[in-house]
Structures are given as C-alpha cells and as structure tokens.
C-alpha cells in the first residue's frame, strides 16, 4: 500500500519536467542513455525526520539531487550556498515557520523567484497567511501527501524553474 504524506496542491502550474531514466550507463534524459544531464537540485526542509527521509528517498530514486534539512535555519544556509532549483518545505516547524523561511529565502540574492512549495497539515491557515504565501510565490499543499503527488509536484516546480531560466 502506498504511503501518504499530503493531499491537495494549488499553484505551480506548468509542463511536466524532464524525467530522468536510469540505465546501465547511468542517468539520462530518456533520449540518449549516454548523455549526462545535470540533476535538478531540490532542497527539502522538514522537521519530521521520517517524512524528510521518505521524501528524499523518493526524489533521489527519480533522479533528483536532494539537499535535506530538519531545521529551517540550516535550510536557509543550504539555500544560500548550494542554490537549489526548487524548495519544498513544511509549514509548521520550530523556531521558524514556512512563511518566515520563505520571507528570508526571498531576501537571498539567488532566490527571488525560486519555485517553492509549502506542505502543511494545517487546513485552517489564516487568509492573510495564505495571501502572503501566494504573493511570495509559494504553492500550498496539504498533508497527507501521496508519494506520486510529491513526484508530480517536484516535476512541476522544476518545469517552472526551466521556464524562468529560458525567459531570462
């Protein structure tokens, strides 16, 4: 039976991003098994270690380069130094919630438009919080999130990043 960690998702529209294919010659873009593509880099910030580990494993199996942090302050340091393509984070975390993380992320020079998704089990977010998350460009998803939904989310966020890069 599939594990579940979140449910509905809004925002982050776009075409499905590249799905890496594994072969005996390594990862590829599905067209040429010998061509090596850079792996899309995802930063996961989640204070629940079981969720963090499961999400990271699933994304790595799909060919993503995954950075993880169980603490928002460390996640911001990773974002600044590693410059991930996309960020997926929990909303309710100790010391700094997802909104505070997103505000600080947007202040970093390389992250003014980094695609971000916030995952929460809080179905009753205040309207002003929801509006600010949208203004800051974050998609909001609700737990429990099925693993296939996580993979689709990562593809959509990465596709959004690719579109930004092409238009720049």
Q: What is the pLDDT of residue 83?
A: 93
pLDDT tier, 161 (very low <50, low <70, confident <90, very high otherwise): confident
What does the alpha-carbon distance between residue 22 and residue 135 come to, in Å, rounded to a whole number?
38
Contact 120, 90 (CB under 8 A): yes
What does the alpha-carbon distance between residue 16 and residue 20 come to, in Å, rounded to a whole number?
12
Give the mean model confidence (pLDDT) for residues 34-61.
90
Of 7-21, 58-72, 109-123, the poorest mean pLDDT is in 7-21
Q: What is the pLDDT of residue 106?
A: 96
Please say if the pLDDT value at position 35 is more than 90.
Answer: no
Residue scoring higher pLDDT (37 or 103): 103
Beta bridge partners of 4: 146
Alpha helices in the chain (DSSP H): 49-61, 72-82, 98-107, 127-135, 147-167
This prediction has a pTM of 0.77
Mean pLDDT, all residues of the chain = 82
Q: For the chain, list the domains and their CATH numbers.
A: 9-167 (3.40.50.2300)
Q: What is the pLDDT of residue 168?
A: 66
Q: What is the pLDDT of residue 68?
A: 98
Give the mean model confidence (pLDDT) for residues 46-72.
96
Query: What are the pLDDT digits (tens) for 9-25?
Result: 344 444 334 333 333 33
Q: What is the pLDDT of residue 15?
A: 37
Please say if the pLDDT value at position 116 is more than 90.
Answer: yes
Q: Closest Cα to residue 87, out of 40, 131, 27, 35?
A: 40
What does the alpha-carbon distance between residue 37 and residue 9 come to, in Å, rounded to a whole number?
28
Please say if the pLDDT value at position 156 is more than 60.
Answer: yes
């Amino acid at each position: 039976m599939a594990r579940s960690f979140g449910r509905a998702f809004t925002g982050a529209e776009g075409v499905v991003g590249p799905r890496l294919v594994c072969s005996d010659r390594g990862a590829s873009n599905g067209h040429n098994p010998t061509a090596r593509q850079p792996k899309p880099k995802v930063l996961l910030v989640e204070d629940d270690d079981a969720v963090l580990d499961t999400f990271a494993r699933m994304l790595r199996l799909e060919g993503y380069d995954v950075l993880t942090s169980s603490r928002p302050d460390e996640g911001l340091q990773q974002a600044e130094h590693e410059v991930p393509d996309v960020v997926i984070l929990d909303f309710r975390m100790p010391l700094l919630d997802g909104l505070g993380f997103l505000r600080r992320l947007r202040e970093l020079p390389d992250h003014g438009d980094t695609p971000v998704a916030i995952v929460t089990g809080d179905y009753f977010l205040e309207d002003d919080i929801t509006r600010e998350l949208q203004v800051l460009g974050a998609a909001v998803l609700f737990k429990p999130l099925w693993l296939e939904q996580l993979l689709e989310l990562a593809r959509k966020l990465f596709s959004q990043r690719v579109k930004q890069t092409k238009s720049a």
